[in-house]
Structure 1
Amino acid sequence: MAAAVVLAVCSFPPGVNARQESDEARRVREAITVFGEIMAAEDKAIPRAIVGRAEGIAIFPSTIRAGFIVGGMRGRGIISARNEGRWSAPAFLTLTGGSFGLQIGGQAADLILVITNRRGLENLVANQFKLGADAAVAAGPVGRDAQAATDLQLRAEILSYSRSRGLFAGVTVNGSTVRQDRDANERFYGKRLETRQIIFGPAPGAPTPVPLWLDVLGRYAR
């Protein structure tokens, strides 16, 4: 399954190659790869009990972690929300500051945020949102432990995960600021759109590779 996801992500539309593709489209493709690969490893994946009830999923591929033990982060990602059983088109976000887990200078990691309730989602798509301050954030469980997933969901509005050098685990994220990336939204959709308009409003036009992103969300987080 993971191989199929990667193959689909690496396939470009006729007349388009990787060099011609926009930064925003690449960001979506990278998020597809990250989520598809993680969820395909069921014994080490985010439990289906979590993603199946998630209100939103945000992925920041190749987030740069600076410093050792305590350091800042810098990343760009996307978020989609579940509306009446359907996943929205992605909106673009940036992530700065804060830290998570044991860090080695300059190391990149994929960061995944699973939003468990509507309040957490509303907070996350505000103009500026600080993880751990504006909503309860906890390291998410991995694997098939549905009971642990349920217990954590009762306490946290956002569950956080990190994948680095092939290792995937729940991580504690503190102090990072998430902001709307309005410029990326405009470049991708061709008009000025707020994050709320994209994930809560009528679906905007879906540039490539949005259908692939919605497909992988539907496959693992239905």
Structure 2
Amino acid sequence: MPIEHTKRKSVLASLVALAICGATVAQAAGQADQSNQSSQADTSSKPAQSATRRVSDALAVVRQLEAEPRVKQLLQQAKGVLIVPSYGRAALGVGAHGGAGLLLLKRTDGSWSGPAFYDLGGLTVGLQVGAEGGAIAMVLNNDKAVAEFMKKNNFALSAEAGLTVVNWSKLAQGTAGTGDVVAWSGTKGLFGDAVAIGLNDIRFNQNLTNAYYGRTLSPKDIAAGTVSNPQAQPLQQALGEASTITK
């Protein structure tokens, strides 16, 4: 066989091998890119799913609040409410050492804003002996209390912050509404016998809020009522019903 012919066959075989190798690499790169995109999609969807779950859990808490006539009285005059579906030992692992909550503010027409998401620190009275934690709600009675939430990070609802936070279970029938904030608990004994309590190290959860609304927002943006998420409507409507003055 002529040498030239042998060389041509060798070169042709090398080119075919390179082509096959290139196709294999391209296919592997494509698969890796698809896998990476899928992984990114899964990661980005997790905060939105977590936020949606919090809203759903908060709805159950509002149903509890609605069953309390005195709490309904508070909500009728309230400027806002911080709902914490699970606080304390039962909430460990949520992402904060106290729990996770969401804030809704009452508009001038009596309707409620969409939720803004927060992570919470500790109660100044701590969990009482035997209390495993549970749902709590902080009813904000005035603009002074609401203003704390516009600070976004590391603020408190406490005497140190210039706010009176009253234990709901210690309110007399005729003193509903006393204090800047009234703290309600769905767990008997969670606040113990303390008349005044506090909640420290409250932080705005930017990641969950952005994921829930699909854009970057501040607490003030949500307070202005210019954004919405249809998934929050059941919660907003339930709060509207709970805060409606009944004759």
Query: Normalization by structure 1: what TM-score?
Result: 0.73
- The 3-state SS of whatever aligns with 2:114 is coil
Task: Tell me if structure 2 keeps the 8 A contact 1:186–1:193.
Answer: yes
Aligned-pair identity (%): 24
SS of 1:22's partner is helix
Q: Given the superposition, is the C-alpha separation of residues 168 and 34 from structure 1 closer, same or farther in structure 2, using an over 3 Å criterion?
A: farther
User: Corresponding residue for 2:18?
Assistant: none
Correspondence for 1:61 among 67, 74, 85: 85
The structure having more radius of gyration, on CA atoms, is: 2
- Maintained 8 Å contact 1:115/1:159: yes
Q: Does residue 1:211 correspond to 2:233, yes or no?
A: yes
Conserved in 2, the CA contact under 8 Å of 1:65 and 1:104?
no
Corresponding residue number in structure 2 for 1:179? 203
Contact 2:117 2:206 in 1 (8 A): yes
Q: Return the offset for 1:104.
A: 3.7
Distance of 1:138 and 1:186 partners within structure 2: 32
CA offset at residue 119 of structure 1? Answer: 1.3
Q: Which one has a larger percent helix, Structure 1 or Structure 2? A: 2
Find the aligned partners of 1:124 and 1:170 in 2 and give their Cα distance.
27
* Alpha-carbon separation, structure 2, partners of 1:168 and 1:64: 11
Q: 2:222 aligns with which of 198, 205, 210?
A: 198
Q: Which residue of 2 aligns with 1:139?
A: 167
Root-mean-square deviation over aligned CA pairs:
3.0
The 2-side partners of 1:35 and 1:180 are apart by 21
| Aligned equivalents of 1:73, 1:105: Cα separation in 2 | 18
Quote the Cα distance in structure 2 between the aligned partners of 1:192 and 1:86: 23
Aligned to 1:163: 186
Q: CA deviation at 1:35?
A: 1.5
Once the two structures are superposed, residues 152-195 of structure 1 have per-residue CA deviations (whole angstroms, 9 ceiling, x without a partner) of: 1xxx2111111226989996433522111111101111111111
Aligned to 2:102: 78
Higher strand proportion (structure 1 or 2): 1
Cα distance in 2 for residues equivalent to 1:195 and 1:37: 26
- Structure 1 residues not aligned, in runs of 5+: 1-18, 67-71
TM-score using structure 2 length: 0.66
> Contact conserved, 2:84 with 2:135, CA < 8 A, in 1?
yes
Aligned pair count reads 188
